[in-house]
Structure 1
């Protein structure tokens, strides 16, 4: 018999190769499998081959092979891999149906396969920025590249996971640059949720690189709750995603499959029965033929004339399901072989012979080699990829064996597997914790519940270190399940597990479950009088409340209870509790008490003498920033926190504080300084690989484009920010995207497009106060004034008390001010004016980096106009013109000019009509240039409302604005001085002067001034 590994010929009766020791029966099985042709999948393979060709040319793709068990998904993927040419590197990762696989298991297999074929020089060429984060969780990298410098740690696990995924994506981009990659993940429906998370992260990057990612999955196993369902929904958004559904064979293909399985020349009636009963499922067909051969109904390879009916055909009964067929096939194996295979099924689809031997008693051990060979010859087993490993030829075979083991026997065997693994692997790396946790949990109630709890907890902690938060949640739940079987007299371990589970849920963004879990922990800790765990539960509950922007009353109650349980003093822990309470109070609407608590937190942090604690408390207090009148205090705290963080070399905290400084600068309208600060933040975020700050920078760039009227750029930047943000669990990137797109469409006059979307959102989330002001504005903008009034009056109840003091307060007030003016509602204008007045001299921001309305003074002027307070309106509008002009806020400047013009037309005092005409001319030119269609139409309407009798024909066809510019030129002012007087930019003045020179046929400013004198324009 020839050895497949080394090619040597051996004796026919030899079990192992004399040269290399390979198992010869396994070699024979592999050789036979390699020769197996592909039936009925040429269309799919042709399409996949096309994707391979595009991938080689640099256009990557993601492809899915879906179908029922046994339909041939893996075989089709193997066929594609065998046909891949042109230097395509094929790497496999197989998901384990047993839930004990380590986090990122298929990706780790793929990476190991890539590393196995690389020399040290190639590894050294991989960029350090991609290797270092991976080395933190993947020991093989650290072993191969020993001189890697440690990364600067980040305190935020969400950012840490982003950093890992970003680095891993960069790694595969680098690998694809060296050679085209066909990455195959088999049985994706069994993938751990962390692996699916990375797949979602990698997906958008594949399109522009030489990567074809092919995965197989059982579609019959998916429901809406299955993690893969959400992943497939996410992938379907991409144009480079392709899905192929494998159907059953037709009758002709079934006949070919029957012949391939050894049933050549069977009677047509029997063939029809097999095709009908199996519905063309290839595995079902193959197993049926093998069963019929085993039972003597068919003779292997016997061909009969088609006209000669098989004598047994009429009485052949085919089992109804493939598992029944597999069961009957297993019945034909010897009893020792079945018992050996049962124990192998306990380990998993893939198993080591070394481990399996330890699970056998002395009687079975005698038959071990014969059992393995019998299973190989029967195609129940096949060789694994690693030496010393075998696997069941199909997962259904392993499932059938496993399901037939009695429950108590199964529990005892799981316990035996767990103990054997512990004996084999006594190192401290923790690599086997996942599988141990699975076996100990499956061994309950036979196993020691305390040991099962401890192993599951350790597995969860390791998953957390690996940033596999989905897996951490699963193992913490396993630990809690096991802990419920231990003594009820010791609740502390259960409390700690609940708090840890809540923290993992928070990292996943599952805030509802996290709050419920922290609530359970708090209840138990309260009874057990565990002050530290009460603090942990209360702070966790507040974080899971604040992150999605929920009201903070419940969190404040728990935090007060945790504070009462503390001994007092000046500990940093107490300062943290008080900081969290201050934030919860802000989100409860109790700003006064929040300020008092914040000051208490800072005082305790100062008395503690811990500079790091003080810097952290100052930074935490900055998040309580929604009162504009406290801007001076915040700027002082920012400076102190920055000095402390930099003085203690806490670069990450310093970066966080700089982000708050950025928000303050934007609100103050110092855009030139803001742009410098933003560039610095972007540079440091990249250097320190802090993804959240990269997201902050991306949304800030979009906000800047919106503020400056660069709407085409803004749309691109908004989408770019979404792509970065949606990769971080728990971050409301789609919500931020929605707000920025709402702002963009509002500026473009395209709000009507968003009406159904916003209405549906408000209906789905009736408490979504942040969208109700936007909905009211949307109705007002598209002329549905009755609907706008209904929304507005509902929000106006009790002096607009529904508008919380949070990140969206300024935006909500800005929307409502515009609606109020449109409805000409003077009583409510008085209330809104008082609410907006603290923002005078500042920009109105949406959140922190989501958007900017420009100077608040413009809306104060609008409300003062509604109040008929002309003097205050004029003062606010001129302030808004100055501020918006200074910061280049072109859309806000155009809107302010329209509002100011409308006010002067309404007042109609001396000079108001001419001043309004000039304001409208400038506003129209800017709105038309930026493509603000709705605003342009409003300006046109205002211009038409000016009576023709009040108009004046200026000489040489000069416009009113050009006449005013010419008069100021005649007085000797330069362009910048004229611009300051007229609230326009120097560039605009330069354009006006060019037009004046052309119309007056003047060669220079002196001749133009002379023209003005001759025509009496200097006295205008």
Structure 2
């Protein structure tokens, strides 16, 4: 037999092993890090990781492996395995009992809070272990990880700092199809500065020959060694199998399955039976379990197992047996006949029913066509997943239960639940997991099911849940109002209760989404009644939510300072009782208050605080989490902190809705930077999400602005008309969005009108179109004016619109632009746009000195900001007006950020390394470098560095 695994020297992996050892050395020195070890199946990931762990003297090695059990796996399995030997240290954090059975578990609390506590506890345990000595956490086969494991991996990797900790995670690249759930996680963590990636490629030709020679131990002629090496295509596992086959005197098999099965076919019938049984297991199979499944007596079983281990089919672990390689298990399982699979899974289901997990029972029962048992087990598995703070896994089990509901008789008796309870649980888990569209689907089904019952409070409560699920979708605001109105009618005349309090509190919030004019005092009374009802019913979360709404009423009445104080108090109260969603809503309202008073930096900080709280609570992609992230992004955009905003907007790990909503906020920045092709690309990638009003508005405005900067005003107007149609289709559109869109369209029409007049034509039709567009920006009610009219993001486009209408009509008025500049004081980028137009109006009125001052200011600020289209436009204005004072000195051509990027490039860093050093994304670093090359007229990175040195731009 060839020598396998660590019995032979590691060949051809010195660079990768050196990289891993260097990462471990950095961890020893207090610089925590992670390495993603990627490669095809059989390429040697586990062997390389084993080599690292084997010579890691003085390092605590914690190892855990994910298993191929579809989507019904045990949540956090690799962490439970890795931390299983640390029970004494883990006793300090009882919540870890959800990972490590045997620890005393705390009383169950709010799911969101418990999930946060679990994640924090796992992190704290690793920090404590790392304080005692260096720790290597090895997580294998992440391509099989369940959703909760993926979430915990992201949580831990995003908190790597000064711990003496190295995390190495392996995964198969050949398993990652386009929609594989691991892909978003990989994209997310790859942006983290402490995370590196090693792509383990097949061995080179010479190394493959050397590896086969070592396996053959001189027993094969050189020609056969070369043939085996060629056939293996550099895959070490294939090398082992092919070498073993040839040494047995067999012909080289044609296919991989044939190659793998050949090893099994050489076993005795009893050993083959054992191997086939192990192929159907979801995890390591205990010795006693194998005897039961295979129907073999103890002596026969031991002989069969010894044979399978001796022939390198199975390996013996502390707790049982498993295949030596997953590829071999897959080949054996795929070779089973349908009837064999059913019988095998039925046997494992009987074992799981006696002493296994509900998830395993659900899996095996479903595969063995025992649907009643699968239904009951799926419901229990969902409960267990909820208890382990694994909402994604809970949702999977609930969905399987709902799919089985009509396939069994008496499903309520079997499952112990009714269908409505499952639907409501599925909606709640989908919302927590960030699957907003699925939450809506299940909430709607729950309303339909509840209406079949004679229970007004139940019908009202399901409508309340539906309204909450619909809130993220602007296009469904009418449905929100309808659901709330129906819920109120159902409980209006009923005694005080928690449900009635919930509906009352939500009704006061919902009026801003569809009611033209209402009695605010009446609604304030409703909220106060809701707070009183909640207090009487012992529902502190509903009480705190009502406090948030009361704080919001003060803002709507113009008492912003009081509203802010009340909002912060409500957030503190919500935090005390663990009502994270209420806390986040309160922080969002405070963020809006800070925006209203023009404190954009404060608003950005408050939004960032809310996002961090949401992320820590596992709610980063829920509605409240997305709301916090997008609030921060808008503030950063108008403040001009574009690098930070672009980095924050890259969220490939988010669910589809959140990824589109958050990602769309980068579009206006890309347009402002002159990265027009990227705007088009982003719009194309998010095309299927443009029905979401906010996403569609941001993409449409960015496309219009990009078109206008490029001189295509007609396309800009067309894009804006589409945006306005989308906004008018809503029950109540955002006044700020409307006016931003309208002023963009009117500005493009003014460009066309100016061009028409320069050519001696008539601009009357264009003026009419612009005035028609302007009318679309009028508020629908006095309520809307009260709610939105005070905010700078509404006031600034309003002032700009008045000035743009003058320009459209051929009467550009410097005074109107001066007003726009003053209004835009809190929003620096929009103020620069207004100053540019002001300079043009001043120049047209012969006020050259004043125009020159504005031109100089805008040129310098736009250069600093990286607003290349604006810089070019103001430079062109200076050229046309012969305003020589506008030209910036030649040695000031690069912004400080561009100079920082170029200095690092000059030092030999790659774009990714530059991004990590400057805490920006690789894409943003590349964009900065592209602008540097364009400004210097360089055709390459090296030429840009050379030219910069020649011009004295680099020290």
User: Does residue 217 in structure 1 map to residue 147 in structure 2?
Assistant: no
1:466 corresponds to: 388
Aligned match of 2:303: 370
Change (3 A) 1:892 1:50: closer
Please state whether the residue corresponding to 2:321 is helix, strand or coil: strand
1:651-662 correspondence runs (5 A): 652=579, 655-656=583-584, 658-662=586-590
Is the contact between residue 894 and residue 923 of structure 1 (CA under 8 Å) also seen in structure 2?
Answer: no
Q: Does residue 779 of structure 1 match 2:707?
A: yes
| Contact 1:505/1:511 (<8 A) preserved | yes
Separation (CA, whole Å) in 2 of partners of 1:684 and 1:243: 31
Do the aligned partners of residues 226 and 141 (structure 1) sit closer, same or farther apart at CA in structure 2, a change above 3 Å counting? same
CA distance in 2, matches of 1:819, 1:401: 64
Contact 1:841–1:856 (CA<8 Å) still a contact in 2? Answer: no
What is the deviation of 1:66? 1.0
Partners of 2:878 and 2:261 in 1: how far apart? 86
Indicate the SS of the match to 1:383. Answer: strand
Give RMSD over aligned pairs. 5.3
The 1:873/1:631 distance shift into structure 2, 3 A limit, reads farther
> Is this contact kept in 1: 2:568–2:586, CA < 8 A?
yes
- Once the two structures are superposed, residues 260-286 of structure 1 have per-residue CA deviations (whole angstroms, 9 ceiling, x without a partner) of 367x43456765665566556544454
Q: 1:247 to 1:383 in 2, by over 3 A?
A: same
Task: Tell me if the contact between 2:746 and 2:801 (Cα under 8 Å) persists in the aligned partners.
Answer: no
The 3 A distance-change label for structure 1 pair 594 and 217 is farther
Per the alignment, residue 930 of structure 2 pairs with none
Shift of 1:750: 4.1
- How far off is 1:74 after superposition? 2.2
Structure 1 residue 715 corresponds to structure 2 residue 642: yes
Please say if 1:104 is aligned against 2:65.
no
Which position in structure 1 is the counterpart of 2:470? Answer: 545
Q: Which of 134, 140, 164 is equivalent to 1:186?
A: 140
User: Does 2:36 match 1:95?
Assistant: no
Hey, what's the Cα distance between the residues in 2 that align with 1:545 and 1:924? Answer: 48
8 Å contact kept, 2:743–2:804: yes
Question: 1:110 aligns to what SS in structure 2?
Answer: helix
1:485 matched to 2:407? The reply is yes
8 Å CA contact retained: 2:470, 2:476: yes
Give the Cα–Cα distance (whole angstroms) in 1 for the partners of residues 187 and 137 of structure 2. Answer: 21
Secondary structure of the equivalent of 2:476?
coil
How far apart, in 2, do the equivalents of 1:186 and 1:528 lie?
49
Give 1:630-649 correspondences, 5 Å limit: 630-632=556-558
Post-superposition CA distance 1:618-667 (Å, at most 9, x none): 46758999xx9944499888777777787896575774464255245334
Q: Cα–Cα, structure 1 residues 452 and 560, in superposed 2: closer, same or farther, change >3 Å?
A: farther
- 1:138 alignment counterpart: 99
User: Given the two structures, how large is their TM-score scaled by the length of structure 1?
Assistant: 0.68
2:772 to 828, 832, 835: 828
1:810 deviates by: 0.4
Cα shift at 1:97:
2.0
Post-superposition CA distance 1:817-874 (Å, at most 9, x none): 243145244523652564499798998799xxxx957756633642674598999996
Within 1, Cα distance between the matches of 2:852 and 2:120?
50
Higher Cα radius of gyration:
1
Query: Which of 921, 926, 940 is residue 853 of structure 2 equivalent to?
Result: 921
Shift of 1:423: 3.8
1:285-338 Cα deviation digits (max 9, x unpaired): 544555676xxx55xxxxxxxxxxxxxxxxx54443454455444444343444
- Distance, in Å, in 2 between the alignment partners of 1:482 and 1:833 is 51
Whole-angstrom CA distance in 2 between matches of 1:720 and 1:170: 27
Q: State the match for 1:417 in structure 2.
A: 348
Q: After superposition, where does 1:982-993 map in structure 2 within 5 Å?
A: none
Matches within 5 A, 1:348-497: 348=282, 350-359=284-293, 361=295, 364-384=297-317, 386=318, 388-403=319-334, 407-408=338-339, 410-424=341-355, 432-445=357-370, 449-487=371-409, 493-497=418-422
1:25-55: CA deviations, max 9, x gaps?
xxxx999865333345445445544554555
Work out whether 1:814 is the aligned partner of 2:705.
no
Partner of 1:90, secondary structure, is strand
Normalising by structure 2, what TM-score?
0.72
SS at match of 1:189: helix
Following the alignment from structure 2 to structure 1, what is the Cα–Cα distance between the partners of residues 833 and 114?
43
Q: CA deviation at 1:684?
A: 13
Q: Give the structure 2 partner of residue 82 of structure 1.
A: 54
Q: For 1:382 and 1:743, how far apart are their aligned partners in 2?
A: 55
Structure 1 unmatched runs, 5+? 1-28, 125-130, 299-315, 426-431, 949-1020
Equivalent residue for 1:760? Answer: 684
SS of the residue aligned with 2:149? helix
Q: Does 2:24 match 1:63?
A: no
Structure 2 gaps of 5+ residues are 751-766, 884-955
Q: Which residue of 1 aligns with 2:199?
A: 244
Shift of 1:605: 2.4
Q: Render the CA deviation track for 1:687-730: whole Å, top value 9, x for unaligned.
A: 996676999888777766666x5x4xx2354256457x777768
Shift of residue 551, structure 1, vs aligned partner: 2.8
SS at match of 2:152: helix
Alignment check: 8 A CA contact 2:346 2:368 kept: yes
d(CA) in 1 for partners of 2:117, 2:645: 21
**Where does 1:117-128 land on structure 2 (aligned, <5 Å)?**
none
Cα 1:522–1:644 change in 2 (3 A) is: closer
Change (3 A) 1:644 1:340: closer
Taking a change above 3 Å as real, the CA distance of residues 920 and 701 of structure 1, as seen in their structure-2 partners, is farther
What are the residue-to-residue correspondences of 1:246-325 with 2, within 5 Å?
A: 246-247=201-202, 250=205, 253=208, 257=212, 260=215, 264-266=218-220, 274=228, 279=233, 281-287=235-241, 290=244, 298=249, 316-325=250-259
Of the two structures, which has the highest relative contact order with CA contacts closer than 8 Å and spacing of 6 or more?
2
Classify the secondary structure of the residue corresponding to 2:174: helix
Contact 2:668 2:699 survives alignment (8 Å): no
Aligned to 2:10: 38
